[in-house]
Chain A
Amino acid sequence: DAKTTQPPSMDCAEGRAANLPCNHSTISGNEYVYWYRQIHSQGPQYIIHGLKNNETNEMASLIITEDRKSSTLILPHATLRDTAVYYCIVRAGGTSYGKLTFGQGTILTVHP
């Protein structure tokens, strides 16, 4: 699975959009981009995933560049409860098992 690079930490004001970047320059054609987050002391939580088209759900939007070498997770109106570690994960489709390789992630702090 391709390696990802994320900034170690970011800040965001409550009510503003949080834009979390992820670089995955070695991504291959059958690899998906997944985002998970982990709130302190809890298990990771799935947010969203995509292959090449932009995706949106009730939690967030995922913007993938045309060359697929980077992506951005957007939390449109961040709240204090969105403070967490956010993981960008690239994983091949059709693997023999759904292994997720978690890196160090981005610590997002939402402040009042």
Chain B
Amino acid sequence: IAGITQAPTSQILAAGRRMTLRCTQDMRHNAMYWYRQDLGLGLRLIHYSNTAGTTGKGEVPDGYSVSRANTDDFPLTLASAVPSQTSVYFCASSGELGNEQFFGPGTRLTVL
């Protein structure tokens, strides 16, 4: 692994199903983030984690949950997917607060 990876690359999901998007980084970064990107709205922060064991809400957290059991992994869970959660999801990490963020390749999620 080099950098930050996300899985799956894309997914089509029925409404009401549970889904976990995976994010892993091998840079030993303390901070990790989840964004969603929608046409006309840019990237919006969903949840973040400053360090392992802590998480916080971004600007659009409703319908999503995260956990940070260790430094490397930061999964994003949709407990009961809805069509408005159709989006491209990007995970990012940064070594220190204020430093540049490194982004993963994204997960394209479609909820029908």
Contact = CB atoms under 8 A, between A and B. Distances in A.
Contacts, number: 61
B42 A97 contact: no
B101 A98 contact: yes
Contact of A46 (B90, B100, B104): B100
B31 A97 contact: yes
B43 A99 contact: no
A45 B105 CA distance: 10
Interface in A57-112: 87, 91, 93-105
Interface residues of A, number: 24
A45 B103 CA distance: 7
Contacts of B59: 99
A44 B33 CA distance: 13
A48 to B, nearest CB: 9
A98 B102 CA distance: 12
B106 to A, nearest CB: 5
B56 A42 contact: no
B36 to A, nearest CB: 11
Interface of B: 31, 33, 35, 42-45, 48, 50, 56, 58-59, 90, 92, 94, 97-106
Given A44-B43, A98-B97, A98-B99, 19 more contacts: A43-B105, A44-B90, A44-B92, A44-B101, A44-B103, A45-B103, A46-B102, A94-B97, A97-B31, A97-B48, A98-B31, A98-B33, A98-B98, A98-B101, A99-B33, A100-B101, A101-B45, A102-B42, A105-B42
